[in-house]
Structure 1
Amino acid sequence: MQQKSGRRSNRDRTEATRADLIAAARKLFTEKSYAETGTPEIVAAAGVTRGALYHHFADKQALFAAVVEQEAAVVAEEIERASPPSLFARDALIAGSDAYLAAMRAPGRTRLLLLDGPAVLGRAAMDEIDNRHGNRTLREGLVAAMRAQSMVKLPVEALTALFAAAFDRAALAVDAGASADDYRAVLMALIDGLSPVPHQAPRPARTR
């Protein structure tokens, strides 16, 4: 029993070291960017040795990939939390869209996922990460809306890719200072524009 407990303790320490490295790297990558962050800074911030870093990750890029994967998973979790199965398909799609835009306003997240991610890991690797997380939730929402006949049926992969690009562009624009309300209004219009019976935007109140 003592030997088994020791194995658990070693595993816990290993997982804790890995988590500390990812947390320290995330903070530095979001504050300074990937290019401006060195491994000595990361190990110092994590309170571990360089040997510990290279025990868990082949190099800085591999650590960066782990940070991006975790960050993408967090965004997907926030989307799923905001759009439970109990919602109507269209309402869930809109709630998930709002959750994505809100999640991407976390400091440094747009640079991490939308700028440094593709630049460092490559577009293909970044697409794989997206497809496991944010794009997966978007695809599920679009499929549900089409099945519920609240959205016209279109090729799902192409639709997911184009909607994802639109949401990413909105997140980048908002991060740069553009009006979040303006971009949300356009994105909602895109969603409603694919409805078999388009939803009409409320008319502005008349002023005297």
Structure 2
Amino acid sequence: MKQEVALAAKRRAETMEENRVKLIGAARKAFTASGFAAASMDDLTAKVGLTRGALYHGFGDKKGLLAAVVAKIDSEMAALAQEAGAALATPWEALLAEGEAYIGMALDPEVRQIVLLDGPSFLGDPSNWPSQNACLSITQRAVANLIAKGVMKPIDVEAASRLLSGAAFNAALWVAASDEPHIVLPKAIEAFRLMAEGFLAG
């Protein structure tokens, strides 16, 4: 009997996870195409053969679904930024490359609409998002390492990390909101690099 109950619970959990993945995938497409406010939850759920009940059960409400989608995309952005930095010769250049890569992702239609435009509008201050705090933790480790090696000035690690992370995110916001993002992007990256270089020792 216990085994049957355990198997049933496992199946329920697997079904919930499958539904969650389906809904996040459908929401990414719908939010990118229409924006969060205009996206129809009935259309979204119907496209993956689910009901509104599945959405509410998995995410609470439409905003909960947006938060899950933002977290998913934001984590992918962080991974891509780290990949960009991994190819660089020094930890300092890697840190700058990660920030620049993050800013550059503002040109991606999905990132632009969901993370940079709808995210702050409907989920509030990005500094309170779990995904942004995860990005901050990565930056803090890099900054602490650079300070320990004498590459960066002996400044408070959290303060420097929050300024660097916030600058990258706000630069990306600027690019995303611009009517001429391809023109704004190099300006944003140049300003980010100059600001960051103020932390360099010597």
Question: What TM-score, normalized by structure 2, do the two folds share?
Answer: 0.81
Q: Which runs of 5+ in 1 are unaligned?
A: 198-208
One-letter identity of the residue aligned with 2:15: R
Alignment of 1:33-72 (within 5 A): 33-72=35-74
* Cα deviation digits, residues 46-97 of structure 1 (max 9, x gap): 2212222222121111111111111111111112223349952212212212
Match of 1:97 among 96, 99, 119: 99
Conservation of the 8 A alpha-carbon contact between 2:27 and 2:69: yes
* Cα deviation digits, residues 145-198 of structure 1 (max 9, x gap): 22221111222222222222321232133332233222222222222232123x
One-letter identity of the residue aligned with 2:145: A
Distance 1:128 1:57, change over 3 A: closer
Conservation of the 8 A alpha-carbon contact between 2:146 and 2:152: yes
Compare CA radii of gyration and give the structure with the larger one: 1
Conservation of the 8 A alpha-carbon contact between 1:80 and 1:137: no
Q: 1:85 and 1:6 mapped to 2: Cα distance?
A: 46
Q: Which runs of 5+ in 2 are unaligned?
A: none
* Cα deviation digits, residues 90-110 of structure 1 (max 9, x gap): 122122123212333321313
Match of 1:180 among 180, 185, 198: 185
One-letter identity of the residue aligned with 2:25: A
Distance 1:8 1:162, change over 3 A: same
Conservation of the 8 A alpha-carbon contact between 2:28 and 2:110: no
One-letter identity of the residue aligned with 2:197: D
Identity %: 29
Match of 1:119 among 118, 121, 124: 121
* Corresponding residue of 2:201: 196
Higher-helix-fraction structure: 2
Superposed CA RMSD in Å reads 2.7
* Cα deviation digits, residues 100-126 of structure 1 (max 9, x gap): 123333213133223322222222774
Conservation of the 8 A alpha-carbon contact between 1:82 and 1:99: yes
* Corresponding residue of 1:24: 26
**Is structure 2 residue 158 aligned with structure 1 residue 157?**
yes
Question: What TM-score, normalized by structure 1, do the two folds share?
Answer: 0.79
Match of 1:131 among 86, 110, 133: 133
